[in-house]
Structure 1
Amino acid sequence: MTSAELTVLQPYCENDMRLLKRISKSIFLRLGEPLTEADYDDFYSIANMTLWQAYNSYDISKGASFNTHLCNCLKKKFKTEIRDRHRAKRVINQFTTSLDATNDSEEECSILDFIPSDFDTFEEVTKNSNEQFQDKVQHYFSKLSNQQVNILNLLIDGYEPKDIRQILEISSTEYAENMKIMRSFENVKILF
């Protein structure tokens, strides 16, 4: 490294790269992105690489100081990194699916239907045979439509969703909507 290179880079590399970190931090704050300590470490590493890239691309004949050139390079790199992080988050979110979403098969059951659970609302209610719970069950039934009561009775008897739809002559969408209403917190909270 020549003495001219050392003269330009030395202020940024002294004292554990304090000047480079201070410049980087002021750029972070102006970008307005909330950053964690781990993010700061990542961005300081980017700043360190950018310092060397900025030095190699610096053209003194353009009239700008090296500090100005470095700040512009850092801004571009930081904005690119933030943009790429946001894009990565959007890509991940494209693969998320609602638990109420129906599958593409003939049965069109929701994903929630396939998640095993050892908790069964109806079993819990029928375990307790005291009068208070019987009143709650009656109140729950009173909030359901005739079709929902029929679905519930067939479920209690052990019928599969496709069989219930066939017996009641309803579409899979109609079945899913009824199940959603029957499982809604507003209705189920009565039982507890």
Structure 2
Amino acid sequence: MDGKRQQETLDYYCGNNMARLRQIAYPIFTHFGGISAKDYDEFYSEANRTVWSAAASFDDSRGEEFEAFLKSCLSRKFKSLMTSRNRVKRIADRMCLSLDAPVEEEGGATLGDVLLSPFDLETELLIETGAPSGSRMEQYLERLSRKQREIAALLSEGYKPSEIREQLHLSEKEYSNHMAMLRSYENVSVLF
């Protein structure tokens, strides 16, 4: 396609706010489904780029109409765009939670502070150093969250509740909830 004819073709498809290109592109990309109205701009922009590259690579001597060639180019382009958008690595994992996510009921605490974990750094260090383990107190501490172990450690060092709340940045309600877990029968029963 010569330069003048190429410019006329581009004016026809891209002129008047891409009216003709929109008429051709809309049925092609809606055929794939799963596209919301907010994504239409992205597909129309891709159609605009495709019409420019199709006009540059179109060969008049093959006896084919430009519009049929353009439709096949758009179909392939939209199919590859949908494939790349739906790849697993590009889909946001909505079920994944971060341990650094704040917990609303716990004030400034994070999910990692509140969750019970079978891994205990102190126990691992005791095993590494060869210190005896397996006492009832260790079993009791293993059942507690990190924040509850911190409270228990501060209580054993003689801190007052107001000092503990201040040091760990806890509200009275949070502190009382943690203390209730420290005193719960489920946890305390291990000690006897």
TM-score by length of 2: 0.50
Alignment-mate amino acid for residue 96 of structure 2: T
User: Residue 87 of structure 2 corresponds to which residue in structure 1?
Assistant: 87
User: Residue 66 of structure 1 corresponds to which residue in structure 2?
Assistant: 66
Deviation at 1:77, TM superposition (A): 1.2
Pair 1:105–1:80, CA change in 2 (3 A) = farther
Deviation at 1:41, TM superposition (A): 0.7
Q: Does 1:153 align with 2:175?
A: no
- Superposition CA RMSD, Å: 4.4
Deviation at 1:80, TM superposition (A): 1.2
Given that 2:28 and 2:75 are in contact with CA atoms closer than 8 Å, whether structure 1 keeps it comes out as yes
User: Residue 77 of structure 2 corresponds to which residue in structure 1?
Assistant: 77
Pair 1:153–1:44, CA change in 2 (3 A) = same
In 1, Cα distance between equivalents of 2:62 and 2:117: 61
Given that 2:116 and 2:146 are in contact with CA atoms closer than 8 Å, whether structure 1 keeps it comes out as no
Deviation at 1:66, TM superposition (A): 0.8
CA deviations on 1:140-171 (whole Å, 9 max, x unpaired) are xxxxxxxxxxx95143x5x9xxxx6xx69xxx
Deviation at 1:10, TM superposition (A): 2.5
CA deviations on 1:120-146 (whole Å, 9 max, x unpaired) are 7x95xx8xxxxxxxxxxxxxxxxxxxx
User: Residue 106 of structure 1 corresponds to which residue in structure 2?
Assistant: 119
Q: Structure 1 stretches of 5 or more lacking a match? A: 108-112, 127-150, 169-192
Following TM superposition, where does structure 1 have runs of at least 4 consecutive aligned residues deviating by more than 4 angstroms? 88-91, 102-105, 117-120
Alignment-mate amino acid for residue 10 of structure 1: D
Alignment-mate amino acid for residue 61 of structure 1: S
Deviation at 1:28, TM superposition (A): 1.8
TM-score by length of 1: 0.50
Pair 1:5–1:93, CA change in 2 (3 A) = same
User: Residue 18 of structure 2 corresponds to which residue in structure 1?
Assistant: 17
Given that 2:13 and 2:20 are in contact with CA atoms closer than 8 Å, whether structure 1 keeps it comes out as yes
Identity among equivalent positions (%) equals 31
Secondary structure of the corresponding residue to residue 106 of structure 1: coil
Alignment-mate amino acid for residue 63 of structure 1: G
Deviation at 1:27, TM superposition (A): 0.7
Secondary structure of the corresponding residue to residue 47 of structure 2: helix
Q: Structure 2 stretches of 5 or more lacking a match? A: 100-114, 121-144, 148-169
Given that 2:25 and 2:74 are in contact with CA atoms closer than 8 Å, whether structure 1 keeps it comes out as yes
In 2, Cα distance between equivalents of 1:72 and 1:104: 56
Pair 1:52–1:90, CA change in 2 (3 A) = closer
